[in-house]
Amino acid sequence: MKRALLILACCLLVATIAGIKWFSGLMVEGLTVPGEVPGEIGVYKEMGGARPLSIAEVSRVPETAFAVREDCCEFSTPQGPIWLRFKVTNDSTLPLFNKTKTHFFTEIVNPFIPKITYYQLSDANVLRDSFATGSKGYTFCQRPDTNSRNFRFPLTLAPDSSAQVFIRIESDVPLHLRILFFEQGERIGHQQWIVDILMTIFLVFCTLFLVLSGILIAVSREYFNWYYFFYILVTTLFILAHLGWGFKYVWPEYPALQHILPMALNTLRVVLGIQFFRYYFDLPRTAPRFDRFVRGSVLALFATLFFQIIAQTFGDFQWVLYPFFVFLMLFCVTMLVWVLYEMLFKRRTRFSFLFLVVGLNFVGVAATTVQYLGVSPAFFDATADLLTGFGIANTFFLPPFVIAAFFMEMVLVFYFSVSRFLRLIEKNQRAELRIARAKEEGLSALVVGTENERKRLARELHDGACVNLAAINMKMDVLREHLAESPDLAERVRDIADDLDATYREVRGISHDLMSKALEKTGLPTALEELAVRARQAQPGLDVQIFSNYPLEEIGGLGKIHLYRIVQELLGNVLKHAKAQHVNIQLLENEGNLLLTVEDDGQGFDPKTIESDGIGLSNIRTRAEVLRAKMHLESAPGKGMFVSIEIPKEENVGRGMIGRHSKSS
């Protein structure tokens, strides 16, 4: 069933892409394409090695010698200079022209053309204007129009006049370019405004994604996600450099960087993406063989980057271009095949997300590759057609499909990263809950064990030591009667008997402290009253008051033991340290919970100067933790002490702490 769903998902992905292509074609059908050249574009190729032709010679070449091309032109590695030719007439009957429009732009969309020469001739083949520029040997400032990242040439045309445009291109690498024609006001106004908005949205989104991703990585501490963080950063820089923004704003005086940096950034972004892929899916552990292949590919990509730099330095760039892109394409195909295999045959459904991400990345790599190799990327023009349908000229050298794929990839990865982070939080919370429960169970077991040991010691003292001491005391009474004729000896025996009686009472008191019989037989209220009586006896003049409006009979066996011990410990502290005259003990019902308060008017203390177990507070806190209670203590020198412990009822029902106890308890 899962395999069928995965196959269906793949089919839906393909159908979605095909649907976008069909819909984009439907939108542009019958529309005027923004920036479309008003006429046919002719292409003439010079023979390599021959003497370069002048503009005068080319202008005399018959029109039939020029092959007709669309506005998109692809060339494999040219064997010589290429001439492009088209004719423009300022015909006021056409939408692009009217009598007020006399200034136009010819724009060539490819910021990497090494050398380009622009000529404008009249109908009589008289040279009106010419410009020489390019991305190799020419700085950005040497362009005729430095307001555009593309090559843009101004053209002035009076109403009802014509001009011929010739463009000579020299390149030692494959070429892909588009020629656009605009009225100047339209290009620098409406069209530029739209492009600026689109690029601003893209940059703001990338920046926001990087900030949120950085915060997410810092919080989750999954540091391998930094690979994807830098992948997004480098990919953003690659897109900007590929569109020509780097040459315009960053390195305008260093044209050599215009060729090497986009390639270097492309290589680096692929390496970072691969590293993220490796660690996100833990390939070193789950697929060690495939991981070795991936690591080898990373080394190969770094090697190609080195060769690209060497090739660009010595000018022969082509020999490393083809192997690099062929290897990159094969690697992407291998990744897609492996992911599909894991999805379909090993049923790793979580890889469906990876398939989408790798698929989108493959689209970007494929589109970039065919551009560099001069092959038509017509399939990737779907997004460009959508732009055309909305009246936006495609002035982006990098296919908009690639930018859109990168955008979707970011959204997907961020979504799954957040989902993974939330799962980690949930997992950690469950682990913390298990640890807390284990700690609580350990504390409960410790307290129960302590209580059982107290009971055992109380029985041993009561049934053993107390009985023996009572028997010895009786024997001493008999011995004292027989020694009536010897007063001195009788007095000494009487002293021994008094010591035995005191020891008997002390052991009996210890036995009672270890386990109150009243608590076991008559319940918590009676046991607490007994504690108050014993406190008054231990410190004559001490006023101990107990008040309760809570149904103490609902407190279970363990709960009543903990409460008894807490009150016993606090009263013991009052007797030992407080020198108090009054003690108030209250057991109150507070919104269904049990609130225990103990307050005295003794000498008080500074809680900051008292160690946690200095006055028995450690035992009290331990029992409060077992009851999941909140403990609050207030005291100051000369101000007495106030302790409140709020025990939640709902959390203790069913745990044997609070709830209607059985008769056996």
Q: Where are the beta strands (DSSP E) in 1-71?
A: 41-45, 67-69
Residue 340 within a domain: no
Mean pLDDT by 10 residues, the chain (665 residues): 55 58 48 74 80 88 83 66 89 63 88 91 86 88 88 88 90 80 84 86 89 85 85 90 86 82 83 83 81 84 74 59 72 76 66 63 68 57 63 78 77 77 81 75 65 64 63 70 68 72 67 61 82 87 90 76 85 87 90 89 82 63 84 90 87 55 38
Domain count of the chain? 2
Residue 21 within a domain: no
Residue 62's CATH number: 2.60.40.2380
DSSP-based three-state secondary structure for 592: coil
Residue 273 within a domain: no
Question: Count of CB atoms within 10 A of residue 113's CB?
Answer: 21
Of 148, 161, 49, the residue nearest 101 (C-alpha):
161
Element (H, E) at 568: helix 557-573
Question: Count of CB atoms within 10 A of residue 34's CB?
Answer: 21
Question: Domain boundary at 187, 210, 241, which?
Answer: 187
Residue 352 within a domain: no
Residue 472 within a domain: no
Helices (H) and strands (E) in the chain, counts: 19, 15
| HEC secondary structure over 83-140 | EEEEEEECCCCCCCCCCCCCEEEEEEECCCCCEEEEEEECCCCCEEEEEEECCCCCCH
The distance in angstroms from the start CA to the end CA of the chain is: 56
Instruction: Say if residues 161 and 90 touch (Cβ distance below 8 Å).
Output: yes
Please give the Cα distance from 454 to 461 (Å, whole number).
Answer: 10
State residue 347 phi and psi, 5-degree precision: 55, 40
Of 587, 583, 558, the residue nearest 572 (C-alpha):
583
* Residue numbers of the domain that contains 635: 522-665
CA separation, residue 430 to residues 311, 419, 420, 563 (Å): 56, 16, 15, 30
Q: What angle do CA 122, 137, 144 make, to 5 degrees?
A: 35
Give the model's pLDDT for residue 360.
66
Question: Domain boundary at 152, 187, 222, which?
Answer: 187
Amino acid letter, residue 573: N
Residue 305 within a domain: no
Residue 648's CATH number: 3.30.565.10
Question: Domain boundary at 187, 222, 252, which?
Answer: 187
Using the structure block, give the residue that is written with the tokens 């065919």: 370
Please give the Cα distance from 115 to 171 (Å, whole number).
Answer: 7
Give the model's pLDDT for residue 118.
94
CA separation, residue 52 to residues 46, 82, 171, 432, 478 (Å): 8, 11, 14, 78, 143
Which structure tokens are listed for 500?
A: 């035995």
Residue 309 within a domain: no
CA atoms within 13 A on the CB side of 630: 8
Residue 95 within a domain: yes
Using the structure block, give the residue that is written with the tokens 């590695």: 77
- pTM over cut 0.75: no
Q: What angle do CA 374, 378, 384 make, to 5 degrees?
A: 110
CA 565, 571, 572, 577 dihedral sign is positive
Percentage helix, strand, coil for the chain under 3-state DSSP, each rounded to 5: 60, 15, 25
